């Protein structure tokens, strides 16, 4: 069986098409954060690396928050990404986060359905005791 230029072109365009269409399984799921919870979420403390030795805590798991720009009215922001990370930590029963890390803004045309996104990760932790020197 001979393959001609048309078959080759169809195969190539099908391969490229698969790389550029939206992939719903990769779409970022944004939590709807209740407005009445915003103050509580924003007040959730972050344990900084330099203070970690002064705090006794138990790690509950890793969490991730993503701020996503999906339209010209909806902008991705660092504040929103950190807030979403803290919200996910609270959902796990945490009363603080540790090891917070945020990526630089990323452009994701069509793959996650965000024009731009900022992703933060952290450890959701349950603070059990605080050293007297930290209070």
Tokens 């009215």 belong to residue: 73
117 pLDDT band, cuts 50/70/90, is confident
CA-based end-to-end distance of the chain:
78
Taking phi over 0 as left and psi of -120 to 50 as alpha, with beta for the rest, 50 belongs to alpha
CATH at 71? 3.30.110.70
Does residue 118 lie within any of the structural domains?
yes
122 pLDDT band, cuts 50/70/90, is very high
Does residue 12 lie within any of the structural domains?
no
* Tokens (6 digits) for 58: 């138990």
Does residue 16 lie within any of the structural domains?
no
Does residue 5 lie within any of the structural domains?
no
Highest mean pLDDT among 62-76, 83-97, 103-117: 83-97
The pLDDT assigned to 35 comes to 86
Q: Which residue has the higher pLDDT, 124 or 117?
A: 124
Number of separate domains in the chain: 1
Does residue 18 lie within any of the structural domains?
no
What single string gives the DSSP state of each residue in 7-36?
HHHHHHHHHHHHHHS--GGGPPPPP---GG
**Of residues 61, 75, 73, 74, the one with CA closest to residue 121:** 61
Enclosing domain of residue 65: 24-134
Does residue 15 lie within any of the structural domains?
no
């Amino acid at each position: 069986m001979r393959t001609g230029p048309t078959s080759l072109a169809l195969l190539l365009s099908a391969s490229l098409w698969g790389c550029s269409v939206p992939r719903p399984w990769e779409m970022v799921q944004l939590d709807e954060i209740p407005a009445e919870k915003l103050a509580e979420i924003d007040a959730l403390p972050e344990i900084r690396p330099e203070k970690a030795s002064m705090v006794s805590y138990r790690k509950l798991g890793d969490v991730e928050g993503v701020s996503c720009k999906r339209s010209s009215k909806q902008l991705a922001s660092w504040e929103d990404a950190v807030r979403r990370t803290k919200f996910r930590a609270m959902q796990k029963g945490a009363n603080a986060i540790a090891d917070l890390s945020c990526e630089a803004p990323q452009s994701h045309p069509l793959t996650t359905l965000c024009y731009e996104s900022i992703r933060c990760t952290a450890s959701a932790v349950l603070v059990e005791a605080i050293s007297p020197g930290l209070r």
